[in-house]
Amino acid sequence: MHAVARTREGAAPQTGPEAAERLARLHGAVADWFEAAARELPWRAPERTPWGVLVSEVMLQQTPVVRVLPVWREWMERWPRPADLAAEAPGEAVRAWGRLGYPRRALRLHAAASVIAAEHGGELPGTEEGLLALPGVGAYTAAAVAAFAFGHRATVVDTNIRRVHARLLGGDALPAPSLTAAEQRRAAALLPHDDDASVRWNVGVMELGALVCTARSPRCDACPVAHECAWRAAGEPPPSYVPKGQAWHGTDRQVRGAAMAVLRAAERPVARELFTAAPAPGTPGTLGTPPRPGIAPGTVAAALARLHALNTGPEQLHRALEGLIADGLAVEVDGGLRLP
């Protein structure tokens, strides 16, 4: 580091009294914008609980708010406290997870609830360190829960915040493919020192990224800090790299997803042959249940039909099922598979 802070072209100084004033302006502008434009979300309501915040944060990992909302409400009604979930079989969490995706998150949430019930007297740890020790809780989620549930000063860095920082301060269209140490340092340096102000900044920048400074078509006309934006000042240059798309069709993940849908629909273990074999006409698909025609949609047979429609090879199917077992999302019983 040089004695005098050098910044990239187009970016303002990041140290000194001038920078401090600018930072204070940003804090105020974002807080005011959030006050006026933020969504009302149940995990932000005054009656929220730390448990509810944790559940929301895990559900929101790689999953849009609109799809989380109904599932989160179900979970909170059914399992208002960690001990309530811990008392259930893990498979119930997976089933209630529905189609949110990445079902291992449900499993980890159940595991976290068990740890909280068994080792923390049923109360969530209030520190980042304590939260970080919970299954499924990484750096982002630990910071988010510490901030949003406990009001602590924590450096929250999610994909929205990364994108806002990249544009506003870095002058780039998009953040780097993966979180860098420099980004974390920058995020920490931007955080207000006051607890309450830091929480407002974290949630404000995150909401700004979610509603205005979006990945594809940012609504800069609605941005409270557009006049401070380094990316706009630079003429909105395009991304310096090409995002590598997420393959889906023909992947193990697709097969795993279809297999999980079968397990979620099944009340009994599903025989392995039913996963692998060509669809037998009128087969309910559960052990101990005699075949009958006319299975209604949304049942095991329908899920099996969707799985078979993928025309996956037997080796890939085997790999997918073994993967689910290895991940604890399926357990083998008497030649069949069921939720844990």
Residues assigned a catalytic role: 57
Q: CB 140 → DNA: shortest distance, Å?
A: 4
Verify binding: residue 108, DNA, rule CB under 7 A.
Answer: yes
Q: Three-state SS string across the chain, please?
A: CCCCCCCCCCCCCCCCHHHHHHHHHHHHHHHHHHHHHCCCCHHHCCCCCHHHHHHHHHHCCCCCHHHHHHHHHHHHHHCCCHHHHHCCCHHHHHHHHCCCCCCHHHHHHHHHHHHHHHHCCCCCCCCHHHHHCCCCCCHHHHHHHHHHCCCCCCCCCCHHHHHHHHHHHHCCCCCCCCCCHHHHHHHHHHCCCCHHHHHHHHHHHHHHHHHCCCCCCCCHHHCCCHHHCHHHHCCCCCCCCCCCCCCCCCCHHHHHHHHHHHHHHCCCCEEHHHHHCCCCCCCCCCCCCCCCCCCCCCCHHHHHHHHHHCCCCHHHHHHHHHHHHHCCCCEEECCEEECC
Q: CB 29 → DNA: shortest distance, Å?
A: 19
User: How many residues line the site for DNA (CB under 7 A)?
Assistant: 59
Among 7, 14, 159, 276, binds DNA (CB under 7 A): 159
CA distance 150 to 32: 22
Among 3, 242, 278, 296, binds DNA (CB under 7 A): 242
Among 186, 200, 256, 308, binds DNA (CB under 7 A): 256
Based on CB atoms, which residue is closest to DNA, 18 or 74? 74
Q: CB 298 → DNA: shortest distance, Å?
A: 12
Verify binding: residue 184, DNA, rule CB under 7 A.
Answer: no
Verify binding: residue 101, DNA, rule CB under 7 A.
Answer: yes
CA distance 213 to 230: 13
b/e map of 5-33 (b: 16 or more CB within 10 Å)? eeeeebbeebeeeeeeeebeebbebbbeb
Based on CB atoms, which residue is closest to DNA, 60 or 117? 60
Among 62, 219, 292, 335, binds DNA (CB under 7 A): 62
Verify binding: residue 260, DNA, rule CB under 7 A.
Answer: yes
Q: CB 301 → DNA: shortest distance, Å?
A: 17
Verify binding: residue 268, DNA, rule CB under 7 A.
Answer: no
Verify binding: residue 261, DNA, rule CB under 7 A.
Answer: yes
Within 188-217, the residues that bind DNA by CB under 7 A are: 206-207, 209-210, 214-217
Q: CB 99 → DNA: shortest distance, Å?
A: 4
Which residues lie below 8 Å from residue 3, measured CB to CB, with a gap of 6+?
none
Verify binding: residue 240, DNA, rule CB under 7 A.
Answer: no
Based on CB atoms, which residue is closest to DNA, 79 or 140? 140
Verify binding: residue 243, DNA, rule CB under 7 A.
Answer: yes
Among 30, 109, 144, 146, binds DNA (CB under 7 A): 144
Among 72, 140, 150, 201, binds DNA (CB under 7 A): 140
Within 279-338, the residues that bind DNA by CB under 7 A are: 323, 329
Residues that bind DNA (CB under 7 A): 41, 43-44, 56-57, 60-67, 99-104, 108, 135-142, 144, 158-160, 163, 174, 178, 206-207, 209-210, 214-217, 242-243, 245-246, 248, 251-254, 256-258, 260-261, 323, 329
